[in-house]
């Protein structure tokens, strides 16, 4: 721990310009620097083409959306001060905030909204291509009005225009370039409460207070330093010593959670994740002829004890998933008629025999590899749990370890995988993030968090197309019920665990967001009470 402490202190000295003993943060009640943890290191500092949550944890302090969401998941003003939905549902008019400037001094206008909506959200955003499918044009009659013209009514759009789902990026810096290779992915220029200063790879990302921010009196700290600490135990130690004060998205080992809850200097909260409704999954690459066999996929589903997975790997922080829509989304969820695959190794063995894969010499039927989402030890342990489970039915599984960038390239660009396990986030409305695995139009090579399995079913495509245009909430809910039944019948993906994320932060922090999307909100309201570590 001592080696870690010295290294982190040296990193923060450089970030904050300190030249003396590392402070006890007693000066941070007004202004000062807030040390947070982001893990793993972001891939880019926006969520336009990669919605990996570390990108949003940092970039949502820099960029903003048209709205934010309150505790009731209702929209409130941000870059848009008001809006009207036309009676026929075919247009939404947004009235934009006056006097907002980009961090380079250029004015924010409706041209930025039009560019972001048509060129980013619709074309490269992994969820946006589904969410904004109905959006055909954005009219800009003046600098402070943006009118969304829709092909058909779309109930999902107003649940999808906060910073994380629909960041507004500067048209004058991105237009005419490939967003995926833009230099501004690593030196962002936003309208938000904090301005980008520098990114020292593998160490920290430094942001500073935006003195021209439109929301008077905010942010309440002068700097935010996002520290990158690969070792999970060291992240927990940083929080316990007070060297880091804020850590969202399960940054500490799950085995440490109970101990940290008993520390009066820390807060462990599940708030801030209601809009995410995350679940872990196992996705099959259907290009592999073995995995293209439905009986093989059904056998693998029956070989995994989901409740044991919750208890052993996730320390009880979750529950078994029944399908691709988590039960917390009560408006859309159903278990009625949704096929389930209870844990039954004997049935799994029979299915594999029927599929034409009997045990051979050594008891092995065939060999596969599994790749896991490398953000914390939970997913590595989940992959190991699956490896052990499948070994009992004669499938030899190799767990492949890699960094996040390599994982993304392997799964979503090269399609060089057999099965992969990670986390999916349907968001407040499952049309936002819950359909991506299953819609053939979302087979988008090179786009992270899209349909990597190559699953295609015209019936599923028709169902997704129908629920996207349905304006009656009850009929749309019924179509989501049908979606769950078909997804679990075809089984290109096995939903495993409805995950419960958590944040750990110092008890001295005030103003940490409890909104449904709080873990991906800016830190503009956060301040720190005086006191020792």
Can you tell me the distance from the alpha carbon of 118 to that of 460, in angstroms, rounded to the nearest whole number?
A: 26
Domain match, 460 and 369 both: yes
Residue at a domain's end among 174, 203, 233 = 174
* 116 DSSP 8-state letter: I
pLDDT in tens, 198-230: 999 999 999 999 999 999 999 999 999 999 999
Can you tell me the distance from the alpha carbon of 469 to that of 509, in angstroms, rounded to the nearest whole number?
A: 44
> Which residues of 429-484 form beta strands (DSSP E)?
none
- CB distance 190 to 102 below 8 Å: yes
pLDDT in tens, 188-199: 999 999 999 999
**What is the domain count for the chain?**
3
Domain match, 493 and 505 both: no
**HSE, side-chain direction, 13 A CA sphere, residue 202:** 2
CATH number where 23 lies? 3.40.190.10
Tell me what pLDDT residue 397 has: 98
Domain match, 121 and 256 both: no
Domain match, 389 and 468 both: yes
- Category of 429 on φ-ψ map: left (φ > 0), alpha (ψ -120 to 50) or beta: beta
User: Residue 75 in 3-state DSSP?
Assistant: strand
pLDDT in tens, 478-514: 999 999 999 999 999 999 999 988 999 999 999 999 8
Distance of alpha carbon 320 from the chain centroid: 20
Domain match, 56 and 97 both: no
pLDDT in tens, 356-411: 999 998 999 999 999 999 987 899 999 999 999 999 999 999 999 999 999 999 99
Q: Which of 480-514 are b and which e, b meaning 16 or more Cβ less than 10 Å from the residue's Cβ?
A: bbbbbbbbbebbbbbbbbbbbbbbbbbebbeebbe
Q: Rounded to 5, what percent of the chain is helix, strand, coil?
A: 30, 20, 50
Domain assignment present for residue 30? The answer is yes
Place of tokens 């944890």: 57
Domain assignment present for residue 182? The answer is no
> Which residues of 260-414 form beta strands (DSSP E)?
266-269, 279-284, 318-320, 366-372, 395-400
| 325 CB neighbour count, 10 Å cutoff | 27
User: Residue 237 in 3-state DSSP?
Assistant: helix
Domain assignment present for residue 107? The answer is yes
Can you tell me the distance from the alpha carbon of 277 to that of 426, in angstroms, rounded to the nearest whole number?
A: 6
Which segments of 102-200 does DSSP mark as H helices, in order?
110-115, 128-131, 171-174
Domain match, 477 and 523 both: no
Domain match, 291 and 437 both: yes
**In a 10 Å sphere around its CB, with 0-12 CB exposed, 13-18 middle and 19+ buried, how is residue 264 labelled?**
exposed
Domain assignment present for residue 413? The answer is yes
Strand order in the sheet with 493-499: 318-320, 493-499, 279-284, 419-424, 366-372, 395-400
Domain match, 246 and 266 both: yes
CATH number where 127 lies? 3.90.76.10
What is the rounded average pLDDT for all residues in the chain?
91
What range defines the domain where residue 309 resides? Answer: 279-499
Domain match, 11 and 79 both: no
Q: What average pLDDT does range 312-326 have in this prediction? A: 94
Domain assignment present for residue 187? The answer is no
Domain match, 57 and 74 both: no
Q: Which residue has the higher pLDDT, 27 or 32?
A: 32
Give the range among 18-32, 65-79, 328-342 with minimum mean pLDDT.
18-32
Confidence of residue 3 (pLDDT cuts 50, 70, 90): very low
**Per-residue pLDDT at 461 exceeds 50:** yes
Distance of alpha carbon 155 from the chain centroid: 21
| 407 CB neighbour count, 10 Å cutoff | 23
Domain assignment present for residue 299? The answer is yes
Tell me what pLDDT residue 30 has: 41
Q: What average pLDDT does range 336-347 have in this prediction? A: 98
Domain assignment present for residue 185? The answer is no
CATH number where 356 lies? 3.10.105.10
Considering the entire predicted model, what is its pTM?
A: 0.76
* 480 DSSP 8-state letter: H
Domain assignment present for residue 115? The answer is yes
Domain match, 81 and 146 both: yes
- CB distance 325 to 434 below 8 Å: yes
Residue at a domain's end among 125, 143, 174 = 174
Residue at a domain's end among 147, 174, 201 = 174
Domain match, 426 and 505 both: no
Place of tokens 């099959």: 284
């Amino acid at each position: 721990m001592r080696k870690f402490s010295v290294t982190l202190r040296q990193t923060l000295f450089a970030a904050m310009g300190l030249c003396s003993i590392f402070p006890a943060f007693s000066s941070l009640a007004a202004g000062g620097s807030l040390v947070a943890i982001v893990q793993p290191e972001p891939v880019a500092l926006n969520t336009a083409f990669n919605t990996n949550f570390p990108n949003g944890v940092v970039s949502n302090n820099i960029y903003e959306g048209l709205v934010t969401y309150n505790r009731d998941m209702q929209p409130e003003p941000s870059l848009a001060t008001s809006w009207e939905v036309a009676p026929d549902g075919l247009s939404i008019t947004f009235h934009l905030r006056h006097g907002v400037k980009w961090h380079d001094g250029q004015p924010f206008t409706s041209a930025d909204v039009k560019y972001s909506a048509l060129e980013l959200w619709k074309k490269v955003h992994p969820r946006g291509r589904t969410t904004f499918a109905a959006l055909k044009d954005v009219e800009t009659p003046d600098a402070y009005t943006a009118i969304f013209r829709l092909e058909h009514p779309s109930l999902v759009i107003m649940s999808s225009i906060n910073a994380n789902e629909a960041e507004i990026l500067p048209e004058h810096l991105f237009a005419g370039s490939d967003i995926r290779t833009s230099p501004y992915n690593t030196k962002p220029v936003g309208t938000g409460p904090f301005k980008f200063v520098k990114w020292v790879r593998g160490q920290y990302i430094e942001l500073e207070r935006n003195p021209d921010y439109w929301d008077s009196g905010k942010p309440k700290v002068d700097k935010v330093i996002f520290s990158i600490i690969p070792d999970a135990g060291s992240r927990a130690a940083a929080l316990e010593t007070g060297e880091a004060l804020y850590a969202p998205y399960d940054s500490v080992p799950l085995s440490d959670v109970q101990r940290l809850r008993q520390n009066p200097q820390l807060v462990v909260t599940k708030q801030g994740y209601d809009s995410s409704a995350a679940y872990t999954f196992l996705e099959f690459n259907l290009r592999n002829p073995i995995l293209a066999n439905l009986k093989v996929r059904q056998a693998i589903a029956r070989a995994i004890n989901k409740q044991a997975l919750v208890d052993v790997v996730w320390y009880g922080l979750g529950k078994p998933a029944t399908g691709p829509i988590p039960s917390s989304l009560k408006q859309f969820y159903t278990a009625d008629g949704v096929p389930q695959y209870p844990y039954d190794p004997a049935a799994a063995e029979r299915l594999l025999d029927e599929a034409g894969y009997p045990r051979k010499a050594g008891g092995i039927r065939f060999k596969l590899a599994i790749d896991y989402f490398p953000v914390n030890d939970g997913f590595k342990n989940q992959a190991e749990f699956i490896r052990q489970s499948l070994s009992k039915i004669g499938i030899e599984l190799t767990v492949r370890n890699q960094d996040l960038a390599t994982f993304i390239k392997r799964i979503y660009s090269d399609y060089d995988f057999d099965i992969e396990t990670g986390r999916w986030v349907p968001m407040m409305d499952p049309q936002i993030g819950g359909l991506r695995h299953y819609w053939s139009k979302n087979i988008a090579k090179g786009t992270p968090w899209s349909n990597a399995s190559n699953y295609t079913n015209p019936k599923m495509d028709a169902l997704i197309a129908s629920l996207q245009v349905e304006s009656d909430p009850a009929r749309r809910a019924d179509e989501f019920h049908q979606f769950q039944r078909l997804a679990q019948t075809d089984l290109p993906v096995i939903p495993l665990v409805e995950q419960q994320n958590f944040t750990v932060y110092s008890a001295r922090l005030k103003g940490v967001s409890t909104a449904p999307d709080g873990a991906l909100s800016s830190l503009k309201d956060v301040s720190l009470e005086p006191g020792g570590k």
